[in-house]
A and B are shown apart, each in its own frame.
Chain A
Amino acid sequence: MATHDPVEDLPLPAPGPGPDADVEAASLGVVVRAGVDSLGLARRTVVKLHLEGYRRDEIEALLGWSEAKTRNLLYRGLSDLREYLVARGIEWGNTE
């Protein structure tokens, strides 16, 4: 009787937004994480909080900062991140 390895017979996932999308997110995630990690400590913290979904007023309250200081560091951090990604061929998507 012929034998076969059930593992080798496993179907590969269908093309589409499933695993491919995950792999794409994984690849992009490595670059985005490196970009965030390249920021200075204050900007990095604010950008991380922003990417976590915290609003600016929440970041202000957490850090005890003024609105201007929070906005300044967030904008500068995001601009640095954008510059980092664009330099690596990743579009930010809202170029003016």
Chain B
Amino acid sequence: MKSSDDLQLPRDPGPVPAPLHGAFAWARDADRASTPTAAPDAAGLDLLVDASGDEDARFAMIEQLLGSPDGARTLAYIVAARTSTAAASEYFDGLDETPTNTRAFVGGATATRRIDAFSRLKPVLLAASLMLVAGTSWYVFTLPRMGDEVRSAGSAVELLAVPTVVAQSPITLRWKALREDARYSVEVLDVNDVPVFSADTNITQAIVPAASLKPGTYRWYVRARASDRSEVRSRVESFTVR
């Protein structure tokens, strides 16, 4: 038998402290830059809005959407469509067509009408998402003067390979130029994520002195900042000093 404690709601643990929010955002952005998730197809989005469907699959779809910038924007559109209840609800209630989609979308008497209306809105939302993506791509790829490497590397800094195992000597880290006004910050972290080297430069390489490197495994990445204060990161690569 359950005790009364099992039935009580847990106490509010309080707001997440700002540094933890920032750290989470850093990890999320790094993941999105290094291993963005694929865009879900229409069936996947249908799965998400089907409140009567498999809940685990819906959770997985939400995580997939949160795993890429485009997916996160799509999710934001979906949430906005679901929570604009005041004026939208009045409008949806005025629809006199018989709803064809009977899946529960949000609770209440207007649920089926809302999802019917959402089905109508979905193409508009998807089109808006595509326009946003296209506009962002145009801004990123067309406005700045950028080299061909950038086009092949997407919007992230592309690191050039370092041998995975190297001798204990100065190591040259290189990456591809992003745009002419970019400045680059390179950072090397040891296995405990303690920084052992960092440099800020406007060229596309940096030499890590041997004195900074003891035998062990290191991770490194590069951030690029442009004069318009836009910033992108590379994926994280690693090498081992023997």
Residues of chain A whose beta carbon lies under 8 Å from any beta carbon of chain B = 5-8, 10-13, 19-20, 22-23, 25-33, 36, 41-42, 44-45, 48-52, 54, 57-58, 61-64, 68, 71-72, 75-76, 78-79, 82, 85, 90-94
Contact = CB atoms under 8 A, between A and B. Distances in A.
Nearest to A95: B14
Contacts of B78: 62
Interface in B41-100: 51, 55-56, 58-60, 62-63, 66, 72, 75, 78-79, 82-83, 85
Contacts, number: 149
Interface string B11-32: 1111111011111111110110
16 contacts: A23-B198, A25-B23, A29-B24, A29-B27, A32-B23, A41-B59, A50-B16, A52-B66, A54-B79, A61-B106, A64-B105, A64-B106, A71-B9, A72-B10, A78-B16, A92-B13
B137 interface: no
A61 B22 contact: no
A45 to B, nearest CB: 4
Nearest to A23: B195
A27 B201 contact: no
Contacts of B193: 23, 26-27, 30
A72 B12 CA distance: 9
Given A7-B207, A64-B106, A64-B107, A75 B23 contact: no
Given A32-B24, A36-B24, A44-B63, 4 more contacts: A7-B207, A23-B187, A25-B26, A28-B22
A58 B79 contact: yes
Contacts of A27: 189, 193-194
Given A7-B201, A11-B200, A75 B10 contact: yes
Nearest to B221: A26
B174 to A, nearest CB: 10
A13 B14 CA distance: 36
B79 A5 contact: no
A33 B14 CA distance: 19
Contacts of B203: 6-7
A63 B199 CA distance: 45
A72 B6 CA distance: 11
B83 to A, nearest CB: 5
Given A50-B16, A92-B14, A94-B14, A63 B58 contact: yes
A61 B82 contact: yes
A32 B51 contact: no
A24 to B, nearest CB: 8
B20 A61 contact: no
A78 B60 CA distance: 19
